[in-house]
Amino acid sequence: MTAPQLDCARPADVPGARLDTVLQLADELSGVLRATDRVVARVEEATGLRRGELAALLAVDQGARHPRAVARHSGQVDDAGDATTEALLRRGLLRRGRHPGAPAGASGATVLEVTAAGRAVLDQAEALRIRALDALVGVLGPRDTAVLRSAVQALAGALDGVSPPESPAVSQKRLPTGPAPLRPVES
């Protein structure tokens, strides 16, 4: 399956008869985003980091080694990536380490690394995320959790341009062809 082209509608793709469904879905997704924002706010409060700072810290943990790579990996502009990494360095959550490819004694060749304090913040954020999802699973129960998982997989697959796994809970209709997958960006 390929992702729908979401940046411009062709006449055949205008919702038309589906408009009521599309508007209801937009309202429902807005509710999900508001709930997600509340969880993110709790994580920000507990960790003392803004969403972009946490995304930058995670980017370094996942292999981004320079402020520009951190910015691109975390959905920030280059200047914001520089400012964010500098703030994380000042807080002691990141450090500059010697670039592994730099000759011994060379100056200036550094990479960003997560410190022990940064690792603790990432672990704390992950624990909060897991607790929030555990609470959700507890409220939904097994059947509705299975339906939710299928719907999330179908949504992620549609947005990434990948076919979702076979599931009786979610329709396997194909989406219209588009040029490139849509990638959500956290900031």
- Same domain for 41 and 60? no
Domain's final residue, options 99, 114, 129 = 114
Give the total number of structural domains in the chain: 3
Instruction: Pick the more confident residue, 100 or 9.
Output: 100
Contacts of 9 (CB under 8 A, 6+ apart): none
* Whether the predicted pLDDT of 141 surpasses 70: yes
pLDDT tens sequence across 114-130: 999 999 999 999 999 89
Q: What pLDDT score was predicted for residue 159? A: 85
Tokens of 66: 């320079």
Domain's final residue, options 66, 84, 114 = 114
Beta-strand pair 94-98/110-114: antiparallel
- Same domain for 33 and 54? no
- Same domain for 170 and 159? yes
Domain's final residue, options 63, 88, 114 = 114
Is residue 102 a part of any domain in this protein? Answer: yes
- Same domain for 149 and 166? yes
Q: What pLDDT score was predicted for residue 85? A: 94
Mean pLDDT within 150-154: 91
- Same domain for 125 and 158? yes
pLDDT tens sequence across 155-184: 888 888 765 555 544 444 443 333 334 344
What whole-number percentage of the chain has pLDDT above 90?
Answer: 44
pLDDT tens sequence across 40-71: 888 899 999 999 999 999 999 999 999 999 99
Domain that holds residue 61: 49-114
- Same domain for 109 and 97? yes
* Whether the predicted pLDDT of 91 surpasses 70: yes
Q: What pLDDT score was predicted for residue 35? A: 86
- Same domain for 64 and 105? yes
- Same domain for 127 and 72? no
Domain of residue 105, CATH code = 1.10.10.10
Mean pLDDT of the chain: 80
